[in-house]
Structure 1
Amino acid sequence: MSRTITLVLVDDAGASLGALPPFDVPEPWWQQVEMVVDEARRRHGLDVAVLRLLAADRREPPGGHLTYLGQVSTPPVVPLEPVAVELVPHPLRAPWAEPGGPARSLAWATAELHRLDRPVTGVAQHRTWNLSAIWRLDGPHGSAWLKQVPGFFRHEAAVLRWLATAAPGTGPALLAADDTGRILLDHVPGEDRYAAGDTERAAIAADHHTVQLRAAGDVGALVAAGVPDLRGPGLAAWIRARLAAHDRSAVADLLAGLDDRLDRVRDCGLPDTLVHGDLHPGNVRGDGRRRVVIDWGDAFVGHPAFDILRLTETLDPAAAAPLLDAWAARWRAEVPGSDPERAVDLLRPVAPLRMAAGYAMFLAGIEPSEHPYHAADVPACLSRAAAEAKQVGLPG
């Protein structure tokens, strides 16, 4: 599956120049723009900064015909197609999606690296969408990554600072951060472990248990640093508030009994701790010698079972069972008298419900042209939550 790209160009002042002829790139994922930038350079000799998605010919990723807005400092030689495009400001537009936004962020990152005696000799745009913009900055002392995120992910820097002290090497090294959502990360060798098998997932779970044990005694500091507090009743209130504008009929009974269900989870005896929030293997990077958990923007303080449920979510029950049993055994050894298995069963329908609320939060915080990234995710997660509640067969 590939993408067909129409790139609408603006100049440094934000004035529309027209659209390049459509071209194809093999990478199907809409937020990945490195190939888009490379192809515009290869075909037309243009240095383009991709700002944002303007339109898609399908309701959700991947693939399809996508129209992006890109900024150039020098108008192209190739004739451009006249296009009618809405360029008025939007209150929910990300700062990196505005003309001049990428340049401002790169100037900040370059200055921070210069301060660290790491001169920059090359820059490559890697990703841009409503949840993050990512660039790679290369130099004689290695590569660094500039990541810029919206306000609801701004606590990622606080998590990385805590990890650097409490669990060194388990997260990316934070080189710099500001209060606008920009973070500068040292390069992590290896590759994202999307294809991790059962053995590697078991090792990821064991590593993460150590982190969560250390965090269990430090939740007050994490919350004080800005990490979202989704413990017990706070989680129920957070979910209901974010799903208020969506059709919740499929999970009405689950929502009605949510406070009681979370009370029963608390009675299982496990401590609240740091939760990654999206602990699938693609958010683990490894090179055969070490594993580093990346992308902590979804992190919160809450129940540790959410992470093992996410890590085993795509496995069939027979493959997931040993990982869940090992997770439960570790917690039972640390908290005698606790009931980790029951906590998992109680939280099975809550996990996709929490994810639905997270996607609803994304939709509420991004401009309408970028809604296709997530519009289908809320109903899909609500359907999963309803199915899990029915399968578990527990009241509420």
Structure 2
Amino acid sequence: MHRVCSTVEEMLDPATVSDALARPVSSVGRVPVATKGHSSTEARFEGVLIDGEAAPSLFLKTVDRARDWVSIATGDSVDREVAVWETGLLDMLPSGVDHAIVAAARTQRSSSLLMHDRSAEFLAEDEPITAEWVAGVLRALAAMHAAYWEHPVLGRSAGVLCDLEQVLGHLGPARLPALRQAVPGHFIIDLIDEGWSDLAGPVGSGLARDLRSLVVDPSPVVHALAGAPRTLVHADVRPANVAFDGRRTTFVDWARPTVAPPGIDLAYLLLMSQPSAVMSPDEAIADYRAMLAASLGSDGSMSWWDDHIDLCMTAVFAMMAAVLVDYETDRGSDEDPAHARIAWWAERAEPGLRLLDRL
């Protein structure tokens, strides 16, 4: 267990920071910083200067619960991003995989995390990913999933982690009225609404209906996945949440971690990082499968894999379909790369839908 401070000022007291860093600290200062990407939860970021250093070595993230649409949409009542650190759950991350958190604070209105500043290791918003980045993140995911593989700690963390149905359904149209009431005028609500309205165009009315049905009620796919092995799943692995320096991979923004089969993270990474420019999705899936089997060693029987990855690809496409359509479709011709990408996912969702039809 880690102690969570009751105020940001307490967390940034030199004595607290000294304990967190396991070295003497005599002064702590705060400065504004620019981030490489936009936070859809409207989190506030500051640099933290230790002992008058010229550039921040620590990073402060503060989230106002009243504006945190992810927390609202997933029913977060425990500040999950703080809780997964507070309970020690993230202490089990394997060598080479990190979370960067050194301290946390929880107040009546907000939660704050003090982290090592890994800003130089994130991709810029318009920076293309590389084959090295994809391979490194796949290795990190495989190692993390193996470390938590069917581990008893997952059962003991049920009150901290997000329910898989909440994860898969939090972007569904049924959540929009509550979000509009809680965070009126938030751009993400209009984005999701427009995506669901436009979905039938690029994928067809039949598939759009099936995807909407799955995101409104994810229980069929959750039940279908019940026979697959479970592990800790981050559930938001994308370039904005991954710092990679060539050796160490840091996963940040643990706002909706869940217990699930590992393919949920893999499918989400493939959908949100567009690796096809440097590695085909099928190659990435095959590489991750081999990495996971190697990480599991003698426990690495993969007889469950084929049906599991088909169901995960379908479930994640259903979850993110509205966002993908709104971000990627430029209302141009069917030859546009955005349309081709959506068409690929529409075709890739079919095997999982056929499995669900047979159950």
Q: Which TM-score applies when normalising by structure 2?
A: 0.61
Higher helix share: 2
Question: How does 1:1-396 map onto structure 2 within 5 Å?
Answer: 107-111=9-13, 116=18, 117-126=25-34, 130-140=41-51, 143-151=57-65, 152=71, 154-160=79-85, 161-167=88-94, 170-179=97-106, 180-188=110-118, 190-193=120-123, 195-216=128-149, 217=151, 218-224=153-159, 226-230=160-164, 242-243=174-175, 245=177, 250=200, 251-256=208-213, 258-267=218-227, 269=228, 271-313=229-271, 314-316=274-276, 319-331=280-292, 334-355=299-320, 376=326, 388-393=345-350, 394-395=353-354
- Name the CA distance, whole Å, in 2 between partners of 1:287 and 1:192: 8
The residue matched to 1:136 in structure 2 has which SS? strand
What residue ranges of structure 2 are gaps of 5+ in the alignment? 1-5, 19-24, 66-70, 178-192, 201-207, 331-338
Residue 46 of structure 2 contacts residue 60 of structure 2 at CA under 8 Å; is this kept in 1? yes
Residue 222 of structure 1 contacts residue 301 of structure 1 at CA under 8 Å; is this kept in 2? no
The residue matched to 2:97 in structure 1 has which SS? coil
Higher strand share: 1
CA RMSD of aligned residues (A): 3.9
Quote how far apart the aligned CAs of 1:105 are: 7.4
Residue 189 of structure 1 contacts residue 286 of structure 1 at CA under 8 Å; is this kept in 2? no
What is the aligned length? Answer: 271
Residue 349 of structure 1 contacts residue 385 of structure 1 at CA under 8 Å; is this kept in 2? no
Q: Please say which structure displays the higher CA radius of gyration.
A: 1
Superimposed CA distance per residue, residues 20-75 of structure 1 (whole angstroms, 9 cap, x where no aligned partner): xxxxxxxxxxxxxxxxxxxxxxxxxxxxxxxxxxxxxxxxxxxxxxxxxxxxxxxx
Residue 212 of structure 1 contacts residue 304 of structure 1 at CA under 8 Å; is this kept in 2? yes
- Name the CA distance, whole Å, in 2 between partners of 1:125 and 1:113: 24
Q: Which TM-score applies when normalising by structure 1?
A: 0.56
Quote how far apart the aligned CAs of 1:316 are: 2.5
- Name the CA distance, whole Å, in 1 between partners of 2:327 and 2:26: 40
- Name the CA distance, whole Å, in 1 between partners of 2:344 and 2:133: 28
Residue 8 of structure 2 contacts residue 105 of structure 2 at CA under 8 Å; is this kept in 1? no
What residue ranges of structure 1 are gaps of 5+ in the alignment? 1-103, 360-373
Q: In 2 relative to 1, CA 289–260 (structure 1 residues): closer, same or farther, beyond 3 Å?
A: closer
Quote how far apart the aligned CAs of 1:196 are: 3.6
Aligned residue identity for 2:130: G
Q: In 2 relative to 1, CA 379–353 (structure 1 residues): closer, same or farther, beyond 3 Å?
A: farther
Residue 164 of structure 1 contacts residue 173 of structure 1 at CA under 8 Å; is this kept in 2? no
Q: Alignment identity in percent?
A: 20
